[in-house]
Amino acid sequence: MSVASVQGLPPRGAPRLAGKRVLLLGAGSVGEGIGNGRAMAILFAREGAQVACVDLNLAAAEETTALIAAEGGQAVALSADVTQENEIARIVAATLAAFGRIDILVNNVGGSVPGGPEEMSPEVWHKQFHHNLHYVHLSTRAVLPVMVQQGGGAIVNLSSVAALRNIGPDLMAYAASKSGVMALSRMIAVRYAPQGIRCNVVIPGLMHTPLVEARLAGQRSGGDVSAIVARRNAQPPMGRMGDAWDVAYAALYLASDEAKYVTGAEIVVDGGLTLKTP
């Protein structure tokens, strides 16, 4: 018997997610390039997983699956509004039909709308919670029975440093809802640990993804891309934003059997930003 098998880990050099089936919500990209969801999908497939790539925009999901297929990986593209319970049920059923099981669930959907307590309407507040937190409950509620029946699984939820610090514009609802993702993840981690289900969180900081050019520049710098890039690069102690691959590698660890004794954990991927922010 090899040392690796005694330790309960695959042999050295084996794909880190060999034989795993993944349901990844938010697997497309806003604009051209590689966003967090697309990077996770590609990386997970490179490490041997079959990936169900879900996005509101089917074309974005199909672009991700095409990139995976070009590298010889296996993936299917699905479109869904994940804030709707019937849509969640449909994509869970489709993933099970395609792969037979769901070993890993990644909740990567989210977005921010600026506003403080006085400026933000109740309607926007509720939409932000639906967009960032409510769907996490819906997806886990649908997938947890599958994982319990299988005898285990891993859930990786995406939060934000906005849930830890005030790092810029007023993002009241975004910060509150992303804090909720962290609290919900802790509850799931404790409740389902006896069933072999782990639940962990990746907390990205300022990442240079297509979202910066496609959306944030218009929201926060009047469309001046160079200005917002320079401002965001200046904030972390490392002197630059991270990228989608930084997020993807953190998620890969938490999803893999390398983290088999890790649950309820939060990995901050922010270049030291929260350490220097009061």
85-132 pLDDT, tens per residue?
Answer: 999 999 999 999 999 999 999 999 999 999 999 999 999 999 999 999
User: Mean pLDDT score of the chain, rounded to an integer?
Assistant: 93
**Cα angle: 57, vertex 60, 66; to 5 degrees:** 140
Number of domains in the chain: 2
Q: Are residues 220 and 237 in the same domain?
A: yes
Q: Are residues 78 and 153 in the same domain?
A: yes
Task: Indicate the SS3 state at residue 117.
Answer: coil
Q: Are residues 229 and 101 in the same domain?
A: no
Identify the active-site residue in 174, 192, 253, 261: 174
pLDDT band at 32 (very low <50, low <70, confident <90, very high): confident
* Residue 20 falls inside a structural domain: yes
Report pLDDT for 238: 95
Report pLDDT for 161: 97
Q: Are residues 234 and 117 in the same domain?
A: no
Give the list of residues 6+ apart from residue 80 with CB closer than 8 angstroms, or none: 25, 54, 55, 56, 87, 88, 90, 91
Cβ neighbours around 79 below 10 Å, total:
18
The answer to whether residues 36 and 30 touch, using CB atoms and an 8 Å cutoff, is: no
* Residue 4 falls inside a structural domain: no
* Residue 255 falls inside a structural domain: yes
Report pLDDT for 265: 98
The reply to whether the predicted model has a pTM over 0.85 is yes
Which domain, by its residues, includes 224? 209-241
CATH number at residue 30: 3.40.50.720
Report pLDDT for 1: 46
In sequence order, the β-bridge partners of residue 153 are 197
Distance between CA atoms of 263 and 50, rounded to whole angstroms? 23
The answer to whether residues 204 and 251 touch, using CB atoms and an 8 Å cutoff, is: no
Nearest Cα to Cα of residue 38 among 18, 68, 15: 68
* Residue 146 falls inside a structural domain: yes
pLDDT band at 218 (very low <50, low <70, confident <90, very high): low
pLDDT band at 226 (very low <50, low <70, confident <90, very high): confident
pLDDT band at 24 (very low <50, low <70, confident <90, very high): very high
Told to judge if 174 belongs to the known catalytic residues of this protein, a careful annotator would answer: yes
